[in-house]
Amino acid sequence: MNTGSATPPETVGQLGEFGLIDRFVARLGAAGQALLGPGDDAAVLPAADGRVVVSTDSLFEGRHFRRDWSSAEDIGHKAAAQAVADIAAMGARPTGVVVALALPAETSVKWTDGLADGLRDECARAGTAVVGGDVVRADLIALTLTAFGDLAGAQPVTRGGAHVGDIVAVAGRLGWSAAGLVVLTRGFRSPLAVVNAHRRPEPPYAEGPHALKLGATAMCDVSDGLIQDLGHIAKASSVRINLDTERFTVPDKLRDVAGALGADPMSWLLEGGEDHALAATFAATVELPAPWHRVGSVVPGHGVYVDGVARDAGGYDHFA
């Protein structure tokens, strides 16, 4: 029997499955655009133009985040950012996110509260909301987010539409998360600017639909590193992509951090993932407004070249 003086539940096990779901859903707030939100066998979302854009991504503790490096809020932000960035990369606006959460019974309620807050706040930043989910018990924490988007009648911007003669441009940060990861890996907790960039990426969500309107011929988000992700565009479009390092500006902060660590900041910009910038190709005649800036060009051939030198565009293999 619950009494007024009972100790509030401190762990998910004490709270119970349905207690956790109720608490998590209450914390997430309104289910955005959902026609039917959490609490039934399935949610129902609007898909105004008769299509829905769908992307799914998993994050596992120890592989994609560490609880000693990132708060629960950070992990919520990062999971939502990663999921919704894929929707933006098609040129779509997000319409909802569902969250499949696995966690041990020993997980603290404080932690799951923080996760819900981070998911809610990052979804709000992207103009969307969590509309449903699932909770299971597991021996470690893992999240799979599936995000949905609306193309408002337009064709999606795929990876396969880059043409010879196009320019290559980027919107959003490059290298910041990689710098933060190196700092954390070496046992430091600052400078906060880069550590926080690793903890909470800031994808330029609105630039996805913006690029579509500007006529982007191909687009992807930079999740595994610019060279690797452009390698997917080069392969899918049967073209070669040339990057010119002269066109990249190394931010002062990254130059400082790299100097202190004896690292090459340009390698962070070119190879660092998880900032979820957007990279796209456009006809050379398109006048690119900020924050888009040109970093290269599309030529005949295959692969990704930096200053004329072929780089491995096979990219980061998560199983290697």
Residue 50 or 187: the one with the smaller Cβ distance to its own copies is 50
Residue 95 or 196: the one with the smaller Cβ distance to its own copies is 95
Segment interacting with its own copies, rule: CB under 8 A, options 67-75, 168-176, 262-270, 310-318: 310-318
Shortest CB 285 distance to its own copies, Å: 25
Q: Tell me which residues in 250-309 interact with its own copies (CB under 8 A).
A: none
Is 96 a residue that touches its own copies (CB under 8 A)?
yes
Cα-Cα end-to-end distance for the chain: 53
Is 17 a residue that touches its own copies (CB under 8 A)?
yes
Do 177 and 274 meet the contact criterion of CB atoms below 8 Å apart? Answer: yes
Is 246 a residue that touches its own copies (CB under 8 A)?
no
Is 138 a residue that touches its own copies (CB under 8 A)?
yes
Segment interacting with its own copies, rule: CB under 8 A, options 137-145, 166-174, 195-203, 300-308: 137-145
Residue 98 or 174: the one with the smaller Cβ distance to its own copies is 98
Q: Which of 25, 236, 266, 288 binds its own copies (CB under 8 A)?
A: 236
Give buried/exposed letters for 286-307 (b at 16+ CB in 10 A, else e).
beeeebbeebbbbeeeebbbbe
Computed over its alpha carbons, how large is the radius of gyration of the chain?
21
Question: How many CA atoms, within 13 angstroms, populate the side-chain half-sphere of residue 75?
Answer: 27
Q: Which of 10, 26, 39, 260 binds its own copies (CB under 8 A)?
A: 39
Cross-sheet strand order for the sheet of 130-137 = 130-137, 93-103, 142-150
Residue 88 or 182: the one with the smaller Cβ distance to its own copies is 88
Segment interacting with its own copies, rule: CB under 8 A, options 69-77, 127-135, 193-201, 240-248: 127-135
Task: Read off the tokens for 5.
Answer: 């003086």
Strand partners, 296: 168, 243
Q: Which of 28, 72, 99, 257 binds its own copies (CB under 8 A)?
A: 99
Residue 115 or 142: the one with the smaller Cβ distance to its own copies is 142
Q: Tell me which residues in 145-174 interact with its own copies (CB under 8 A).
A: 146-149, 151, 156, 158-160
Q: List, in order, residues 6 or more apart from 218 with CB less than 8 Å away.
A: 157, 158, 159, 160, 161, 162, 166, 233, 236, 237, 280, 281
Task: Read off the tokens for 316.
Answer: 């980061």
Task: Read off the tokens for 224.
Answer: 């595994």
Q: Tell me which residues in 54-93 interact with its own copies (CB under 8 A).
A: 54-60, 62-64, 86-87, 89-90, 92
Shortest CB 258 distance to its own copies, Å: 28
Signed CA dihedral, 178, 210, 97, 30: sign only: positive
Is 132 a residue that touches its own copies (CB under 8 A)?
yes
Q: How far apart (Å, rounded) are the C-alpha atoms in residues 132 and 119?
A: 12
Shortest CB 318 distance to its own copies, Å: 5
